[in-house]
Amino acid sequence: MKHSDDLHIRVEGRAGCITLQRPKALNALSHAMCLEIEAAITAWAADDGVDHIVIDAEGDRAFCAGGDIQEMYDTGTAGDFAYGRRFWQDEYRLNAKLKLYPKPIVTLLQGFTMGGGVGLGCHASHRIVGESSQIAMPEVSIGLVPDVGGSLMLAHAPGNTGDYLATTAARMGPGDAIYAGFADHYVPEADWLALKAALTETLEIPEHAAPPAPLADLQDELKHHFYGNTPGDILRSLEGSESDFSAATAKKLRRHSPLAMACGLETLRRLRSTQDITRALELEYRFTFRAMEHGDFIEGIRAQIIDKDRQPKWRHDIAALPAADVSRMLRPLGPDTLNLEDPE
């Protein structure tokens, strides 16, 4: 049994159990936590005493609200891009292992599951949501593309749902999360304590009807507005409509990094024909590797998290974003290509 400050890792019955325990920080995922989780699941893959894995979190506000990016900001503003690149590489290696894991993984996704939390919780084989669940990929608000393998889920969401979620950072309740392919089972949270106890011995998850999915009712609007190649195309379409949805959605697009939205849309297009998680992570890493030096990431963090002025000065105007700048961010990295092999 292992008990660190941020994680409780142990075997209970037939299950390898990992509990995130940073509730005051909304269980934000640090670099050290990524490495510790990876070490545990790597060991359990070869352990005949472990049939499946259960990942949950303390507190009722969040399963995991994202990656802990303060250190990335501190090092990046000092001109040190190596720390962030190493964090992303290690985190993406964990994401791939979770997606390709040889044993079932159950995750219980209460409250906020966002960004890095999606990478930890939504590649599992059995993803459980409850009434408080709010799942989102909000990266464009801080100048990143949807990453941690989330681009692959977005690429295969129904219709143009993924394009909408990637550019607006919209939050999905439990019904929407199941509809969009980010979750599998709805279980009322009053039943979770008993369910967690049962999961130490069995993989049986009770079936409950999922709540409604508002995204399903938006498909005509999404098909109409989100077919465009660029964020500017989408925004012009929205501005040509007088619906409440169009006005609210246009407002969200104007708020986010044009470069990140454009590169996110291009990434989704490239992934529509594949289910390969390693391809998705490699594409995402092309952007994140360059995000501090050539993108809006440092400015996005400053505006949203450090100064909290919510007034980012993005590098581009949404209506005048050169295609060359998008392709430059997504060019192959050559010798710096994402390496998902275990480190020596």
pLDDT at 343: 85
- Residue 197 clears pLDDT 60, i.e. is over it: yes
| Tens digits of residue pLDDT in 214-226 | 999 999 999 999 9
| Tens digits of residue pLDDT in 309-331 | 999 999 999 999 999 999 999 99
| CB of 208 closer than 8 Å to CB of 187 | yes
| CB of 109 closer than 8 Å to CB of 183 | yes
Which of these, 338, 344, 321, 343, lies nearest to 92 by C-alpha position? 338
- Residue 1 clears pLDDT 70, i.e. is over it: no
| CB of 291 closer than 8 Å to CB of 281 | no
- How many Cβ atoms are within 10 Å of 299's Cβ, its own excluded? 16
Angle (nearest 5°) at CA 98 between 92 and 103? 160
Distance between CA atoms of residues 124 and 118, nearest Å = 10
Distance between CA atoms of residues 11 and 27, nearest Å = 21
| Tens digits of residue pLDDT in 136-190 | 999 999 999 999 999 999 999 999 999 999 999 999 999 999 999 999 999 999 9
pLDDT at 70: 86
| Tens digits of residue pLDDT in 244-255 | 999 999 999 999
| Tens digits of residue pLDDT in 266-283 | 999 999 999 999 999 999
pLDDT at 42: 97
Q: Indicate the pTM of the whole model.
A: 0.97
Percent of the chain with pLDDT over 90: 95
| Tens digits of residue pLDDT in 63-90 | 999 988 888 999 999 999 999 999 999 9
- Residue 259 clears pLDDT 80, i.e. is over it: yes
Residue 3's pLDDT band, with cuts at 50, 70 and 90, is low
Which of these, 104, 121, 120, 102, lies nearest to 45 by C-alpha position? 102
- Residue 40 clears pLDDT 70, i.e. is over it: yes
> Mean per-residue pLDDT for 186-197?
98
When the pLDDT of each residue in the chain is averaged and rounded to a whole number, the result is: 96
Query: Under CATH, to which class is 2-336 assigned?
Result: alpha beta
pLDDT at 151: 98
Domain positions in the chain are 2-336
The DSSP code for 149 is: T
Question: DSSP string spanning 161-214?
Answer: HHHHHHHH-PPB-HHHHHHTTS--EE--GGGHHHHHHHHTT-------PPPP-H
- Residue 2 clears pLDDT 80, i.e. is over it: no
